[in-house]
Structure 1
Amino acid sequence: MRIWFQRRAGLAWLGMLLCLCTGLITRGQDLPPVTNGWALFSQVKYTQRFFKEYNEYFLVPFFDTRIQQYKNQEILLKGHYMPLDLEEKNVIVLSKFPYSACFFCGGAGPESVAEIHFRNKPPRFKTDEVLQVSGRLMLNADDVNHMNFILKDAELITP
């Protein structure tokens, strides 16, 4: 009787452990869809950090768990095309604001721009052309040669 009970208790513990692990693995899949990535990005806090290799201070994001849970999740962004000369032909920069008020020219914050990596080479866009894209969110806090918010495998959404 005792052995039977110990086996049952062991199976119960194993079942509870599997439920817990399954819950942790699927936690990110239960997130509500992000239809306005800019609202999510605006929740990020920044601090200044000195980078010796550039002899300059840069704003560095702190991605708390609320933001990190959206890493690798599909999000939507609607914004203005920024004409930057980038080496990769399937990469563009999208801004929440038009060119005259963007992060590079008008003093907006780093939360207002995103690096978009299209799955396929995109068509040519005009400056300030309003685009809507969908892609997997990547978060970058360390590489100052890239934006803090990056959409991978992005696709252009036609209105």
Structure 2
Amino acid sequence: MMLISMSAVGQVHLTWENLANITYTEKYFVAYDSNFLYPEFSTEMSNLVGKKVSLSGYYLDISPTGDMIILSKNPMASCFFCGNGGPETAVEIQFKSKPSFKTDDIVVITGTLKLNKDDIEHFNYILTDCSGYILK
């Protein structure tokens, strides 16, 4: 059973355990001539699509141009790309206006949840119209 909490204003507070409730099957993508993990999202997560959610984690700016920013369960030195966890341990975040956070700042991000099954250029979990703050 997944526990998702809601604030007084109706915002859903997610945990990394909520995001880990996902299964994968291999799917062949013709454009890449390769198999990729195809996500099957839980009903609980599917029901949150389009809703405001918040999640805390490590801020990682992973592209030289600042075009790909993620929230990670782990710091940069032990993130998903380094083999420490699966795709469910990182969330793509798209800000309204980019904050001045630094890599490995521990932050709380609020945004609108989108689930991505088919676009392998993006993460499985995406938060759009994001805002956030650093945890101190």
Partner of 2:51: 73
2:86 & 2:18 partners in 1: Cα distance? 14
Q: Does residue 123 of structure 2 align to residue 141 of structure 1?
A: no
In structure 2, the partner of 1:103 is: 80
Q: Are 1:100 and 1:106, in contact at CA under 8 Å, matched by a contact in 2?
A: no
Runs of at least 5 residues in structure 1 that lack an aligned partner in the other structure: 1-31
1:115-135 C-alpha deviation (Å, 9 max, x unpaired): 101112222x32222111111
Structure 2 residue aligned with 1:94: 71
Say if 2:37 is the partner of 1:54: no
**Counterpart for residue 17 of structure 1:** none
Give distance in 2, aligned partners of 1:81 and 1:153. Answer: 16
Return closer, same or farther for 1:86/1:44 CA change in 2, 3 Å cut-off. farther
- Higher strand content, 1 or 2: 2
* 1:152 corresponds to 2:128: yes
Which secondary structure state, in structure 1, belongs to the residue aligned with residue 81 of structure 2? Answer: coil
Please give the per-residue CA displacement for 1:28-52, whole angstroms capped at 9, x wherever unaligned. Answer: xxxx743234222111111111212
Please identify which structure carries the higher helix content.
1
Q: TM-score, normalised by structure 1?
A: 0.71
User: Which residue of structure 1 lines up, in the alignment, with residue 60 of structure 2?
Assistant: 82
Partner of 1:35: 13
| 1:128 paired residue number | 104
Letter in 1 for 2:112: R
The residue identity in structure 2 corresponding to 1:47 is T
Identity of aligned residues (%): 37
RMSD over equivalenced CA pairs, Å: 2.0
In the alignment, the residues of structure 2 paired with residue 97 and residue 149 of structure 1 have an alpha-carbon distance, to the nearest angstrom, of: 16
Q: TM-score, normalised by structure 2?
A: 0.81
